[in-house]
Structure 1
């Protein structure tokens, strides 16, 4: 199947952006209700639970997803059943290990955050872990075969049903409890898994024979992506985890709205990474370093084109945004938001570089780089929280992102010849191109009306 040309990019990009947008829109919708319905300590507990358990989901993705995509993209169809079967075996192993870890993590988290309310949430997540095995496998197979429609549909169902459950409880005047929320997650994931199967069943041809060579190939490639994803998630979650441990779950509740709002502008970054990786894997297999350079520079430029207007608007009107998203009870988030929104401009540089390194067969380097920045982030966050309180988490995270941004540019310049000036030039070019398209459409409508 050809993935060349505008058709792939437009169709894949549209489905991926819709997928990420639905995740965030439904997530923000649920968030807006929960900030108004849950006590601050319970909302902080729920936020911490989500931050920790997301580690398991990104770990599964890291160990299987990129390895499966890379080997299916670079091998003949005759090998695909063996590759797919190997990824299924790895998925089962990860599920069993995660069940053990989650069980013991329940009591540990209760002690760390000084609340027993988090324990039932982890027990409920054990059911989610089992459901995530087929759900994630279906998603990986669709992406490996350059099919994004089913990923959008299953994500829409998963996030949409949870939002509907929260909204119905709010409108009906029911009490929203933490137990209700975890039950909603289980039901929505089960329905989404069932729906995802129908988009994946044509790619479920498996070689059930135990092929240890393929299992080890996927594992050795994926172990570094696994480490990278874990380090990256620790990087993005350590601020809230440290706030919960050092100050309180209520402090996490005050901090979380700024993080949620910042995530809204992260849609183009995560969408581009998902679409770019299959293309970069193909280009890397041809040893086309100039092609990788252009792919990196242009993808970062396009992301920045989308990000910058939102960043400026949110930075100038943070009170209005916080009032709309979280309500008057979260005005403590205003100053935090003005810091967190700034580092979102730096994220595309590091996120896309990791995608390129993985496609070049350098997952170990990507892992070590992300791990180093994550360690720096832990140290900076710990010191800044002790010095400045809740907003110190934002200061520490911003400093870490800036260090990662500078290091990324230096490495990418030496590795592929990437230039910051070229990225900015592409931003300007795409901006002018967009303005030209808009003006041409306006003029064409005016002409059609006169006729």
Structure 2
């Protein structure tokens, strides 16, 4: 019965998270498909830089709060949950206030270095969005810690579809989109998402008025490294676009962003599996030890690679068609960028599950140091390569830094939990026949049986 329950968790939560990530990428990509056509290259580049800054702000807060809250809620007694949630919310409020202050101070500076005067108004308007998103992050973390994903899926669907709906209506009615309108719609979509999220989480989102110092210390002690990891990881993924905007132009940043957006289409399985693995790995470490964690890493990486490999091959060999279909003729310069970004897509599952597994077993400091080191290398290589060879330099710099990070991560995992790189490839190869035997073959047999029955 217990095995059946575990299987039900993995199937249900896996499907929900794949759907959530698919809807996120679909609506994000569909919105991008329209924006890239209705905005000129300069405005699209400014929007790309704006999204890079705000995504980092979100990572600062969620990195410090989210994983720590999920870890301790999923592994602690139910009686302690109100105190844990209260401590986490208090830290979230402090971090939000500090982030808003930094945003107000540095917005004019960012506007100057990127030669984008309208960026100041966009960042100031984002303050209200940031407040609402902080509340939503708390709601989603509590639901995930309780191994439930329905509310997360639905509130994200509401948030993404609202934004996309606005962009689509503007496109169909030839309404001129001002960038600040997009920020206002983000705020509206968050309000609607909060209403949905609260309905699902209200029974588990309980506060304790006697918030103790021990939980503040534990959450912050765990979260400070997860925070550094999230921010550094995000910087590593956006520093190329930021430096292109500063060293070349916002338009160059926009061209690179198109290649990144397309590769994100094949990253849906990795995101979904990481969300499911994190709370489970925390539990299994407590119950079964490092052997279970080793298998969990190898299996999740192999499965993710098996799911993304067909997409990588398709996009690589049909990149010309994909770029022209998605972004149009004016972004032909994104084609060689896409070829390089697809190569490091094959390393992303290793890095993502490296962080997920080490964070879940309390090794957040190691994850933090690896990601910070990789980010510093990426920053240096981007500066050198962009100066020497232009836009392509950003792609090559990110590829090299990802290879270095991959090697370091595998050495650490081998030492900590005995991970075998070969086993991940074995799981990759075994995935296809296993998938055929478990899902395709039974479906074909049922179909064949139905045909025989009808013929009789």
1:438 aligns with 2:440: yes
Partners of 2:150 and 2:106 lie apart in 1 by: 35
How far 1:441 sits from its partner (Å)?
2.1
SS at 1:286 equivalent: helix
Aligned partner of 1:449 in structure 2 is 451
Deviation sequence 1:286-316 (CA, Å, 0-9, x none): 3611100000000001101110000000000
The aligned runs of 1:210-359 (5 Å cut-off) are 210-286=211-287, 288-359=289-360
The separation in 2 between residues aligned to 1:292 and 1:404, in whole angstroms, is 21
Contact in 1 for aligned 2:82/2:207 (Cα 8 Å): yes
Whole-angstrom distance in 1 between the partners of 2:210 and 2:449? 66
- Does residue 381 of structure 1 match 2:382? yes
Q: Deviations over 1:46-93 (max 9, x none)?
A: 001101110111121111111111111221111111111111111111
| C-alpha displacement of 1:342 | 1.3
CA RMSD between the two structures:
1.4
Using the TM superposition, give the Cα deviation of residue 2 of structure 1 relative to its aligned residue in structure 2, in angstroms.
9.8
Aligned to 1:94: 95
Q: Which residue of 2 aligns with 1:176?
A: 177
Check 1:448–1:2 CA distance in 2 against 1; reply closer, same or farther (3 A cut). closer
Q: How far did 1:285 drift?
A: 2.0
CA distance in 2, matches of 1:321, 1:350: 27
CA-to-aligned-CA distance 1:10-58 (integer Å, 9 cap, x gap): 1111111111111110000110001100010110000011011101111
Contact kept in structure 1, 2:370 and 2:408, CA below 8 Å: no
Q: Decide which moves more: 388-397 or 412-421.
A: 412-421
Question: 2 CA distance for matches of 1:448 and 1:420?
Answer: 44
Matches within 5 A, 1:337-416: 337-416=338-417
CA contact (8 A) 2:347 2:402 kept: yes
How far is 1:208 from its partner? 1.6
Aligned to 1:67: 68
Task: Determine the C-alpha separation between the residues in 2 that align with 1:91 and 1:403.
Answer: 33
Q: Relative to structure 2, which stretch is displaced further, 138-147 or 206-215?
A: 206-215
- Normalising by structure 2, we get a TM-score of 0.97
8 Å CA contact 1:98–1:129 kept in 2: the answer is: no
C-alpha contact (below 8 Å) 2:73/2:142 kept by paired residues? no
Distance in 1 separating the partners of 2:199 and 2:376: 42
How many Å separate the matches in 2 of 1:411 and 1:91?
A: 31
- The secondary structure found in structure 1 opposite 2:419 is coil
DSSP 3-state at the match of 1:174: coil
**Residues 56 and 309 (structure 1), Cα distance of their counterparts in 2 relative to 1, 3 Å cut:** same
Gaps in structure 2 of 5+ consecutive residues: none
Q: How does 1:124-203 map to 2 (within 5 A)?
A: 124-203=125-204
State the distance in 1 between where 2:255 and 2:10 align: 39
2: distance between equivalents of 1:71 and 1:250? Answer: 44
Greater mean alpha carbon deviation, residues 20-29 or residues 409-418 = 409-418
Q: Find the aligned partners of 2:85 and 2:182 in 1 and give their Cα distance.
A: 34
Stretch of structure 1 that moved more, 218-227 or 264-273: 264-273
2:419 maps to what in 1? 418
1:9 is matched with 10
Answer yes or no: is the 8 Å Cα contact 1:16–1:275 preserved in 2. yes
1:196-236 Cα deviation digits (max 9, x unpaired): 11111001221022312111110111000000000000000
Paired position in structure 1 for 2:78: 77
Consecutive unaligned residues of structure 1, counting only runs of 5 or more, are: none
